[in-house]
Structure 1
Amino acid sequence: MYFGKIRKFLEIAIDDYVLNLSHVLFKETDEYQTLKNAATRSALTSSIRWLWLVGVSCSSFILIQRQVLNLEHFQPSSDLFGVSIDYTVGLFLGFLIACALASRFSWPHQMLAKLHIKTLAFGFFLLGCYWAMILTMIEGNEQILFGMSLFLMLIFSSLAGLYVSTLCLYSFIVPITVLPLLIKYLFFEPFQFFVMMGVVMTLFLVETGRRMLKHWFIQAIRQEYTNQTYAAALDQIAHSDPLTQIPNRRQFDDRINKLIALAPLANTPPTVILIDVDYFKKYNDRYGHLVGDECLIRVAQALTHAVRNASGDLVARYGGEEFVVVLSDVTLGVAQDVAVRIQNEINRLAIPHADSDIADHVTISQGIAQWEKDESVESLLTRADKALYLSKEQGRNRFNLAEPAP
């Protein structure tokens, strides 16, 4: 009965359900896993610096305790500990200083960034074995209280630095905990129950602490991912047309301004094609606004399909039934080829338009203008709009090139 209550208490104290990890509805996407892995690796990289500081502090503490406080009168209780603690700790402290000097170069950081988690865990295991050897030497010199203090410092320092990875944490903790006890009971003292209980309680506190810290870490990653998702969604809303789901006027303005700023470095300047759906008001009056919206969606899809798949190109809704295409680093000849493809793509849709004065289906008119040196965006669009207006005057369902800038 009592053992059942104790088991239940341990389950409640350790189980992640108490930490509400399973109560939060959260979809772990590939993007979230990427963010989580990157954050875990970044935390482990920071923990290496933290454990370096712990190593320097503990090594200095040992040397000060033995040299400054004149505790050299303690002699090893067995030939097993004939190796000098001062010599071993001094070598390790020199190694840590050498690591600090090497960290000023870029190659150690590049090497650490490429290491697998299991490789890092093996490194922490070796570090744990070293500290286990030091603890064994200290206890062999009958400095039990000092050894216990050092043990607790190492255990809880590793918890603070390695809680993000259970494998790395216990790769460091297990040697520190197990090896000194094994050597102690194999060579020196019989089994002591209260010592084992102290170790078990320490590990219990470490595990519960690890779960709590890991919970807060996961919650922080989830919050960061949620914030990034919301920010991306807001950016999508701010830069996309809600009807056609293509870029809106704001994103067009950003793109054309960037292309004009980079135009002196490009082979050819950017070009815009201003597009208007012919007799769209009559289309709305005849078929209704819902069908008109569907027409605009299909036109936007056709424009996107017709335009080149180049990084600088963009199809955007300019407003109402007007669209605009931005072409980067193209000649006027290539721009005209794109305009022909656009016109053919719209004609291929063959969207019925009974009230059109030029065809029985939806058509478009286009105006093409290429940026000229020192020309403003407003001037470029004005020239494209004049070319579009000329296409309408000439009978629509065609395109025209803009006149040179005055």
Structure 2
Amino acid sequence: MYFGKLRSFLTTVIDDYVLNLASVWFKETAEYKQLLSDSTRRALSSSIRWLWLVGVSCSVFILAQRQMLKLEHFETPTNLFNTSIDYTVGFFLAFLVVCALVSRFDWPHRILATLHIKVLAVGFFLLGCYWALMLTMIEGNGQILFGMSLFLMLTFSSLAGLYVSTLCLYSFVIPLTLLPLVVKNLFFEPFQMLILMGVLMTLFLVETGRRMLKHWFIQAIRQEYTNQTYAAALDEIAHSDSLTHIPNRRQFDERINKLIALAPLANTPPTVILIDVDYFKKYNDHYGHLVGDECLINVATALTRAVRNASGDLVARYGGEEFVVVLSDVSLAVAQDVAARIQNEINRLAIPHAASDIADHVTISQGIAQWEKNESVESLLNRADKALYLSKEQGRNRFNLAEPNP
């Protein structure tokens, strides 16, 4: 009975399936894995600075402890370990100072950002070997209690900094734990069972602590990913037309204002094309609003297919049966080519329109206006609207250029 209770306790404490969030309800997408990888790398980057501080603190602690022993006349007789500790710690402190000076430049951070976690683990392994050497020298000098204190400080400091990566954590902890024990057992008196029990208990606490901290870390990353997903979905809803699923008036306003702000830096200013589906009210009255919605969806798809595949271009629903196209950095000649392509795409759809006065299928009218220096968005759209009205007056199913400002 007691064995079963102990087994249940250990399972509850160290079982990843209990501590980690269940993956059955959380879909680990490629975006989530990238976020987790980036967050882990940023955490390890911070851990390097943290372990630098730990290294400085422990080195100063060792030197201060040895200086106090000398002042209190508790210094052990001179031996190989006793004479090497000061030099080894001094060289390591000098190395840490050099690292701090080098870190003021940008290139070390760029190099660290490109290193694979396995390469970082090698670095942490070498660091663990150094501290294992120090523990061996300190315990060989007869300072067992001080060596155990230093071992505990280093172990739990590494847990605080490296829990995000099991490989990096144990690359540091394993040499720090095993090398002093092996050296002590081979070259000195065998280690006591009490010391081994203390080491095993420390490793048990490190592993359980790592799993709990890693669980909280993953939970935080998943929550951040969920928040980003919701924020992106809300942003899409706010900037997308619910019927046609193309950008809405709000996104159009943001895009045209941004392009106008950048217009002095562009080769040519932005251009807008206002588009109106001809006799759409008659289409709705004749076919019904559901068929009318389907017609708008098809028109939006054709418009998206007809415009250029450029980063600054945009097709948006302007309102009702009106659409607008934003073209960045194009001449009026290219804008007219785009308008002609749009006209051909709509005519190629051949959506029946029995109530139209000009054709047996759905057609569109367009007005093209290019931004002029110091012109407001309202003025630009007003000129495009006048060009669109002119197209309607001339018989529809055509496009016209806007008149320049007087």
What TM-score does the superposition give when structure 2 sets the normalisation length?
0.96
**Matched residue type, 1:328:** S
Aligned to 2:345: 345
Q: Distance in 2 between matches of 1:83 and 1:172?
A: 26
Q: Distance in 2 between matches of 1:403 and 1:110?
A: 53
Give 3-state SS (helix, strand or coil) of 1:25's partner.
coil
Alignment of 1:235-254 (within 5 A): 235-254=235-254
Deviations 1:159-196 (A, max 9, x none): 00000000000000011111111111222223522221
Answering whether residue 405 of structure 2 is matched by residue 405 of structure 1, we say: yes
Contact preservation (8 Å) 2:102, 2:108: yes
Aligned to 2:364: 364
Deviations 1:102-153 (A, max 9, x none): 1111121111111111111011111101100110111111111111110000
Superposition deviation, residue 234 in structure 1: 1.0
**Matched residue type, 1:348:** R
Q: Distance in 2 between matches of 1:394 and 1:258?
A: 33
Aligned to 2:190: 190
Give 3-state SS (helix, strand or coil) of 2:291's partner.
helix
Alignment of 1:7-406 (within 5 A): 7-22=7-22, 25-70=25-70, 73-75=75-77, 81=81, 84-406=84-406
Query: Structure 1 regions of 5+ residues with no counterpart?
Result: none
Q: Distance in 1 between matches of 2:228 and 2:263?
A: 32
**Matched residue type, 2:253:** D
**Closer, same or farther in 2 for the Cα pair 1:83/1:167, shift >3 Å?**
farther
Give 3-state SS (helix, strand or coil) of 1:292's partner.
helix
Deviations 1:335-387 (A, max 9, x none): 11111110110000000111111111100011111111111111111111111
Between 175-184 and 316-325, report the one with greater CA deviation: 175-184
Give 3-state SS (helix, strand or coil) of 1:251's partner.
helix
Contact preservation (8 Å) 1:17, 1:23: no
Q: Distance in 2 between matches of 1:12 and 1:23?
A: 18
Q: Distance in 1 between matches of 2:365 and 2:58?
A: 78
Query: Structure 2 regions of 5+ residues with no counterpart?
Result: none
Give 3-state SS (helix, strand or coil) of 1:17's partner.
helix
Give 3-state SS (helix, strand or coil) of 1:186's partner.
helix
Superposition deviation, residue 23 in structure 1: 6.6
Superposition deviation, residue 67 in structure 1: 1.4
Give 3-state SS (helix, strand or coil) of 2:391's partner.
helix
- Percent of matched pairs sharing the same residue: 82
RMSD, aligned CA: 1.5
Between 105-114 and 170-179, report the one with greater CA deviation: 105-114
Give 3-state SS (helix, strand or coil) of 1:167's partner.
helix
Between 371-380 and 192-201, report the one with greater CA deviation: 192-201
Q: Distance in 2 between matches of 1:182 and 1:5?
A: 34
**Matched residue type, 1:330:** V
Aligned length, in residue pairs: 404
**Matched residue type, 1:205:** L
Q: Distance in 2 between matches of 1:167 and 1:83?
A: 34
**Matched residue type, 1:320:** G
Contact preservation (8 Å) 2:312, 2:327: yes
Q: Distance in 1 between matches of 2:121 and 2:236?
A: 41
Answering whether residue 6 of structure 2 is matched by residue 6 of structure 1, we say: yes
Q: Distance in 2 between matches of 1:143 and 1:265?
A: 71
Give 3-state SS (helix, strand or coil) of 1:87's partner.
helix
Give 3-state SS (helix, strand or coil) of 1:384's partner.
helix
Q: Distance in 2 between matches of 1:203 and 1:262?
A: 59
**Matched residue type, 1:234:** L
What TM-score does the superposition give when structure 1 sets the normalisation length?
0.96
Give 3-state SS (helix, strand or coil) of 2:310's partner.
coil
**Matched residue type, 2:183:** I
Superposition deviation, residue 75 in structure 1: 3.0
Superposition deviation, residue 2 in structure 1: 5.1
Superposition deviation, residue 72 in structure 1: 6.2
Contact preservation (8 Å) 2:353, 2:360: yes
Superposition deviation, residue 68 in structure 1: 3.5
Report runs of 4+ in structure 1 exceeding 4 Å deviation. Answer: 1-5
Q: Distance in 2 between matches of 1:256 and 1:291?
A: 31
Q: Distance in 1 between matches of 2:204 and 2:118?
A: 24
Give 3-state SS (helix, strand or coil) of 2:381's partner.
helix
Contact preservation (8 Å) 2:184, 2:191: no
Give 3-state SS (helix, strand or coil) of 1:84's partner.
helix
Contact preservation (8 Å) 1:367, 1:386: yes
Give 3-state SS (helix, strand or coil) of 2:326's partner.
strand
**Closer, same or farther in 2 for the Cα pair 1:72/1:88, shift >3 Å?**
farther
Superposition deviation, residue 82 in structure 1: 6.3
Superposition deviation, residue 73 in structure 1: 2.0
Give 3-state SS (helix, strand or coil) of 2:251's partner.
helix
